[in-house]
Amino acid sequence: AHGDADDAGGVVRIERRGELQRLVLAVSDLFAKKTTSLAPGHDDVIDGLAGLMKKYPSYPVQVVGHTDNRGKATELVALSAARAQSVMTAIVARGVDSKRLMPSGVGGDEPIADNKSTSGRAKNNRVEIVFLYH
C-alpha cells in the first residue's frame, strides 16, 4: 500500500472517533537531533502540506509534535511543542490561515515505533498533521 504520501516521507492513517474523522499525516526527519528549527531540505514537504490545507480550507488542522523517549518528560513535551510551532510557522508563511491550526506537543507519550532502535526513534521524532472532519 505505497502511494504519494509515502514519497513525501510521511505515513497516512485515518481514524474514526465517533462522528469525527481524523486524517493523520505523520512526517518524520524534519529536525536534526533535539533541535526545534526545521532542518534544511524540507521545503517540498512543507509546500505539500500547505497545498493540502489550502485544498481543504474548511477543515481545522492539528499540528502535533512527538519525540522519542530519551530525556525528561517535561523537556520532551516542550521540545515537541516547539517543533509543532516551527512547522505551523512554516505553513502559515505559505499562506495558510493560522486560525485553522492548533499546535501542540505530546513528547514521547505516543510512539509509533520501538524506541530501542535508531530507526524506531527516528520514526517517533515526528510531527503529525491532523485534519479533522465530520
Round the average pLDDT of the chain to a whole number and report it. Answer: 90
The CB density around residue 107, as the number of other CB atoms within 10 Å, is 21
Cα 107–Cα 26–Cα 14 angle in degrees, nearest 5 = 115
pLDDT at residue 5 greater than cutoff 70: no
pLDDT of residue 18: 81
Instruction: Give the integer Cα–Cα distance in Å for 90 and 47.
Output: 9
- pLDDT reported for residue 104: 98
Of 95 and 12, more confident: 95
pLDDT (tens digit, 9 = 90+) per residue, 90-106? 999 999 999 999 999 99
| Residue 11 pLDDT exceeds 50 | yes
Q: Give the residue-averaged pLDDT of 36-43.
A: 94
User: For residues 11 and 75, which has the higher predicted lDDT (pLDDT)?
Assistant: 75
pLDDT at 3 over 80: no
pLDDT recorded at residue 20? 80
| Mean pLDDT within 56-80 | 96
C-alpha distances in angstroms, 93 versus 38, 58, 109?
Answer: 13, 19, 29
Instruction: Walk across the sheet containing 101-105 and list its strands.
Output: 10-17, 20-28, 126-133, 61-66, 101-105
* 66: enclosing H helix or E strand: strand 61-66
